[in-house]
Amino acid sequence: MSDLEAAFRTVHRRLRPLTPIPTIETKFVASVAANHSATLEDGVLKIRVSDLFDDAPLEVFETLATILLSKIYRKKIDRQHHLDYRRYTMSGEMQARSRQARAERGRPARTTSPQGRAWNLDALFDDINERYFEGALRKPQLSWTPGKARRILGRYDYTTDVIFVSRMLDSNKIPGYVIEYILFHEMLHVKHQPRISNLREIVHTPELRREEKRFEHYDAANEWLKNN
């Protein structure tokens, strides 16, 4: 009997002591994140757990079993179980596994040339790098978004190491300081990697927020973005 099945048997006895334990089928499935499921059909409890957890400690399996079985049997879940589970998933080792899985199994990012119709992201990057980073910031791949994204004007994909800038900004009608500010912000994400604090991933760290205000036209750029 595997540790995973043993954990579900133990927790089932705890949650439903008067109910016979159903047939339990467990399987680790390839995934890019901590995705799990549990279903009870025709007396068979089918458990699917991300293979990122294939060597998790028994106590982690029991915590996961408590969460999944409590949902099936509509039992109230003690908040501590969620905290224990999140503490494990947010550990450095598990975060590294998840990033590696996304890099190896995720869909390749759709990228375009950094040369747009009005702006060249390569040239903009080099200029900003010299002005604000003394030319020391390494250059990731630079790409316009395939479509004209309006909601997210820029993002840095940590997994594929690509900075995307919305093609909506590739226009002579957009002030130069606005597109520079968007690119500068994403360059700060390259410099300031996310970190875990209080079981949460902090992407916009205090260091990034402070440095962001060094941008020469910080107020003007934010004002333009607010009103357009």
Over residues 173-189, mean pLDDT: 96
Residue 149: per-residue pLDDT: 65
Burial 64-76 (b: 16+ CB within 10 A, else e): bbbbbbbeeeeee
Q: What's the pTM value of the predicted model, to 2 decimals? A: 0.70
Q: Which residues contact 153 (CB under 8 A, 6 or more apart)?
A: 165, 166, 168, 169, 182, 225
The pLDDT-based confidence of 110 (bands split at 50, 70, 90) is confident
How crowded is residue 35: how many other Cβ atoms within 10 Å of its Cβ? 11
Tens-place pLDDT, residues 48-90:
999 999 999 999 999 999 999 999 999 999 999 999 999 999 8
The pLDDT-based confidence of 187 (bands split at 50, 70, 90) is very high
Tell me the CA end-to-end span of the chain in Å, nearest whole number.
Answer: 61
Distance CA 35, CA 205 (A): 27
Q: Which residues contact 215 (CB under 8 A, 6 or more apart)?
A: 132, 180, 181, 184, 221
DSSP H or E stretch at residue 132:
helix 121-133
Residue 198 identity (one-letter amino acid): N
CATH 1.10.3470 fits 3-105, yes or no: no
Residue 185: per-residue pLDDT: 97
Distance CA 15, CA 69 (A): 8
CATH 3.30.2010.10-classified regions of the chain: 121-227
**How much of the chain exceeds pLDDT 70, in percent?**
98
90 burial via Cβ count (<10 Å: 0-12, 13-18, 19+):
middle
Residue 103: per-residue pLDDT: 80
CATH of the structural domain 121-227, one choice from 3.40.190.10, 3.30.2010.10, 3.90.1150.10, 3.40.220.10: 3.30.2010.10
Helix (H, G, I), strand (E, B) or coil at 155: strand
Give the residue among 161, 172, 169, 156 at the shortest CA–CA distance from 208: 156
